[in-house]
C-alpha cells in the first residue's frame, strides 16, 4: 500500500546532459539530495561541476524518485535496472515520445504502479551539462503521463517534482502528448529539414536570394539528424498523421493553383494560417503582435547597441523584444524594438531627440 | 537608335508604398529628380512627407525611367500608360513575380525594347510609406530581368538605378527569378501557413505546448492572405513545382517512418536539411553558426538590457546578433549574444566579473 503523499528527499538522475543537469540544479535550489550518473565520465564530471549533484556512494539511501534523462533509446534500460535496485522508487523520465517509451518499459518489466512518464517542455540550442540552468523549466509546461494503474501518490509526486523545478505540471495521456508534440515540435523539424533540403542542389543564384524569412524557417534544420531520426521513428504514428495532413494541404494548394478551378482554395489555406498563428501564446501568456515595433538603424560597432538601450532605459521603457536585422556586407544593422503600444510614441520621440536614426 | 549609355536625371515612381517610397528616398540621396504618383492621395502625401519626391506637374520633362511599384496586379496598367505618355522612358517595376508580369505587359503592348523587369530583394514586416528607408536596398540583391530584345542600354540603366539605390544588380531570366523566389520566399510562406493551420482545430493542450521553435516557423503565417494568394497564383508554375517536391519528400518520409523498410530514409532527409541549411548565407556574407553564443539571464525591467550592452561595449566587444528568449509568465529573459569566437571568452569573463548571470 502506497501512502497518499510521498516525500521527495532524494532523487537520482541518470543521464546528465542539458536536461538532467538542469533538473539536478533546479532540485538543489531547495535542498533535495540529488545523485547523478552518466556513462560518460567527462559529462558526469561537468554536471557535478555545474552543481547538479554528486555521484552515488554505497552508503546512500534509496532515492525516492529516479529520473532517466538519457537519450530516448536508453530510458527503458535505465528504468528496468532502477526498478530492481530500488523497489520503492518512483520511476520517471523526460523522453520526448511517451507512448513507445511506456510500452517498451512495461514490456521490459518496469512496474506500471511506479511508472510516471514526464516531458518538460524546455530546451536550448546548446546541449550538454554546461548549458544547464536551474531555471530552465521555470513556468514551462511539464507534461505528466502516468502508466495505466499507476499509484496516484506517485503521480502526485512527479507533479510535485515538476513544481519544484519551477514548471506547471500538465496531465496528458501518452497518446495526447505524442499527438501534441508531433504538431508543435516534430512536424516543424521535418518541414525545416525538407525546406532547407531544397538548397542542396540549388544554383548559387537561388542561394543568394535566401533572406531572413528563409533563415528563420530553416534554423532548426541544423539539428542533430541521428537524434531527430530516433525521435521521429519513436513517434512515427503521430508524426505520420500530421505530416500526411500537411502533405494533403500542399497537394490541395498545388491543385488550386494549377486548375484555377478553386480560386478560393489558395486564400482559404492562407487564412487558416492566420487563424492558427493567432492562437500561439506569446510572451507572458499574451499573444504575438500586441507590441509595437520601433526600428532604429545603428552602426555595427561596439557600444552602439548599448547607447540605444541606455537611452531606452533612461526613458523608463521596457523592451519586450529585440530583433537585429543585418544587411549583408555592410557595417550597420536595423534594430527592431518591440514595446508596449502605450510607450511607443514617447520612445520614438525620445530616441529621435537624442539623435538616433529612428525609421518607424 | 538608343545611345549606348542612358542618364538617370528624372525618375517617376508610380505606387508609393514601402518599396516605392524607399526607392524615391534612395534616389534622392544623390539628387535624382523623383516624381511620385499614387491613386491613394493620403499615401502619396505620406510619401512626399518622407522625402521620397514630389508630385508631377505639367511642366515636368519626361522621366528617363518609370518604376511601377504598385501591387503586382496593377503593374501592366501603369506601364502601358507610361509607355504611351513618355515614348523614350525605360519601363521597369518591382514585382515579386517576373514571368507573368512580362508576358502580360508585352501582351498589353508595352514595347519589349524598353521593358526591364526588376525585383529588389528587400522588405520589412511593416508596409506603407512611413516604413520607407533610403537604405532599404543597401547591399541587397536587385534582380534585373530584361524583356527579350530589350535595348542593352536600358538594361544597363536599370542596373545603374539599382546601384544608385545601394543594391547589387543581379541579372536573371524571368524564369530563373521566379523559380528562385518560389524556393526562398513563396514556399516558406506556404509552409508557414500550412503548419500554423494545424492549430485551428487543435486542442488547447496542443496550443499550450507551442514554443519558440513553432513561433519562429509560423511567424510569416500572419501575412496578408489576399496579397499572398495573388503572388502565389502569379507564380503558380514555379510554386507548384517546389511545393510538389516538398510534398513528395514528406510522403517519402511518412513511408520511411511507416514501413521501417527504409531505415535510412528518415536520416537521409534530415541530413539533406543540414547540408541545405549550411549553404544559407549569414551576416556579412559569412555562414550561420560561425559565432559563439553567450547566454545571460536578465530581469525583464527597464535598463537591464542597457547595462548588459554597456558592459559588452565597455569590453570592446561587438555583438553580432542578439536573441531574447522570454519565459511565459515570468519577469526575466534569457539573452543570447552572438559574438566572434575569439572574443567570447573575454566577454564571458568580463560579464561574470561585473555580476551578470552568465549561463553559457
C-alpha cell at A256: 488550386
Q: Is A19 helix (H, G, I), strand (E, B) or coil?
A: helix
B residues 49-88 near A, CB within 8 Å? none
Higher confidence at residue B113 or residue B5?
B113
C-alpha cell at B56: 508631377
Q: Does B275 touch chain A (CB under 8 A)?
A: yes
What single string gives the DSSP state of each residue in A229-276? Answer: HHHHHHTHHHHHHHHHHHHHHHHHHHHHHHH-S-HHHHHHHHHHHHHH
Which residues in chain A touch residue B288, judged by CB atoms under 8 angstroms apart? Answer: 215, 219, 222
Is A269 in Cβ contact with B202 (below 8 Å)?
A: no
The CA distance from A16 to A6, in Å, is 25
The 3-state secondary structure of B61-105, one letter per residue: CCCCEEEECCCHHHHHHHHHHHHHHCCCCEEEECCCCCHHHHHHH
Task: Among A96-100, A286-290, B52-56, B88-92, name the one with the lowest average pLDDT.
Answer: A286-290
Smallest Cα–Cα separation from A263: which of B217, B312, B229? B229
Is B312 in Cβ contact with A309 (below 8 Å)?
A: no
- Classify the phi-psi angles of A101: left when phi > 0, otherwise alpha if psi is within -120 to 50, otherwise beta: alpha
- In the numeric block, the cell 515612381 is attached to B13
pLDDT digits (tens, 9 = 90+) for A82-116: 999 999 999 999 999 999 999 999 999 999 999 99
pLDDT score recorded for residue B328: 44
Which residues in chain A touch residue B330, judged by CB atoms under 8 angstroms apart? Answer: 138-139, 284
Domain ranges across chain B: 10-172, 178-278, 292-358
Pick the CATH number of B178-278 from 3.30.930.10, 1.10.3660.10, 3.60.20.10, 2.130.10.10: 1.10.3660.10
Higher confidence at residue B315 or residue B237?
B237
Q: Are A240 and B215 in contact (CB under 8 A)?
A: no
Q: Whole-model pTM? A: 0.79
Which residues in chain B touch residue A245, judged by CB atoms under 8 angstroms apart? Answer: 198
pLDDT digits (tens, 9 = 90+) for A231-253: 999 999 999 999 999 999 999 99
Is A279 in Cβ contact with B207 (below 8 Å)?
A: yes
The CA distance from A223 to A226, in Å, is 9
Mean pLDDT of chain A: 88
pLDDT score recorded for residue A283: 43
Residue B216, number of CB atoms within 10 A of its CB: 18
Residue A292, number of CB atoms within 10 A of its CB: 18
Smallest Cα–Cα separation from B324: which of A27, A283, A246? A283
The CA distance from A156 to A151, in Å, is 9
Query: Terminal CA-to-CA distance of chain B, rounded, Å?
Result: 66
Q: Diameter of chain A by CA atoms?
A: 76
Cα atoms in the 13 Å half-sphere on the side-chain side of A121: 30
pLDDT digits (tens, 9 = 90+) for A154-203: 999 999 999 999 999 999 999 999 999 999 999 999 999 999 999 999 99
pLDDT score recorded for residue A289: 47
Q: In what order do the strands lie in the sheet with A292-299?
A: A321-326, A332-339, A292-299, A357-358
Q: Is B54 helix (H, G, I), strand (E, B) or coil?
A: strand
Q: Does A259 touch chain B (CB under 8 A)?
A: no
The CA distance from A322 to A295, in Å, is 10
Q: What is the ipTM of this complex?
A: 0.79
The CA distance from B351 to B343, in Å, is 12
Secondary-structure class of domain A292-358 per CATH? alpha beta
A250, A267, A332: residue with CB nearest B247 = A250
Q: How far is CA A11 from the centre of its chain?
A: 23
Out of A34-48, A345-359, B217-231, B266-280, the most confident range is A34-48
Per CATH, the number for A10-172 is 3.40.50.720
Amino acid at each position: 500500500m502506497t501512502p497518499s503523499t510521498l516525500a521527495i528527499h532524494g532523487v537520482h538522475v541518470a543521464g546528465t546532459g542539458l536536461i538532467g543537469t538542469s533538473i539536478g540544479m533546479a532540485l538543489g535550489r531547495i535542498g533535495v539530495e540529488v545523485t547523478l550518473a552518466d556513462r560518460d565520465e567527462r559529462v558526469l564530471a561537468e554536471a557535478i561541476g555545474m552543481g547538479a549533484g554528486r555521484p552515488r556512494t554505497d552508503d546512500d539511501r534509496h532515492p525516492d524518485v529516479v529520473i532517466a534523462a538519457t537519450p530516448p533509446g536508453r530510458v527503458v534500460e535505465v528504468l528496468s535496472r532502477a526498478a530492481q535496485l530500488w523497489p520503492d522508487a518512483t520511476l520517471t523520465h523526460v523522453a520526448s515520445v511517451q507512448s513507445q517509451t511506456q510500452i517498451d518499459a512495461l514490456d521490459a518489466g518496469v512496474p506500471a504502479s511506479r511508472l510516471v512518464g514526464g516531458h518538460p517542455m524546455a530546451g536550448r540550442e546548446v546541449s550538454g551539462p554546461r548549458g544547464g540552468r536551474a531555471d530552465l523549466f521555470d513556468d514551462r509546461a511539464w507534461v505528466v503521463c502516468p502508466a495505466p494503474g499507476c499509484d496516484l501518490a506517485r503521480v502526485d509526486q512527479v507533479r510535485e517534482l515538476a513544481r519544484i523545478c519551477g514548471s506547471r505540471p500538465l496531465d496528458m495521456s501518452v497518446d495526447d502528448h505524442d499527438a501534441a508534440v508531433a504538431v508543435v515540435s516534430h512536424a516543424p523539424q521535418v518541414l525545416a529539414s525538407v525546406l532547407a533540403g531544397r538548397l542542396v542542389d540549388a544554383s548559387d543564384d537561388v542561394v543568394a536570394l535566401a533572406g531572413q524569412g528563409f533563415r528563420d524557417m530553416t534554423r532548426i534544420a541544423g539539428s542533430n539528424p541521428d537524434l531527430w531520426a530516433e525521435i521521429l521513428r519513436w513517434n512515427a504514428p503521430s508524426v505520420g498523421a500530421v505530416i500526411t495532413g500537411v502533405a494533403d494541404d500542399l497537394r490541395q494548394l498545388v491543385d488550386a493553383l494549377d486548375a484555377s478551378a478553386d480560386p478560393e482554395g489558395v486564400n482559404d489555406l492562407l487564412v487558416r494560417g492566420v487563424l492558427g498563428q493567432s492562437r500561439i501564446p506569446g510572451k507572458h501568456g499574451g499573444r504575438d503582435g500586441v507590441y509595437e515595433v520601433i526600428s532604429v538603424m545603428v552602426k555595427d560597432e561596439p557600444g552602439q547597441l548599448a547607447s540605444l538601450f541606455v537611452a531606452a532605459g533612461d526613458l523608463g521603457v521596457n523592451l519586450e523584444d529585440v530583433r537585429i536585422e543585418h544587411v549583408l556586407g555592410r557595417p550597420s544593422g536595423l534594430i527592431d524594438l518591440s514595446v508596449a503600444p502605450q510607450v511607443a510614441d514617447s520612445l520614438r520621440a525620445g530616441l529621435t531627440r537624442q539623435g538616433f536614426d529612428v525609421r518607424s
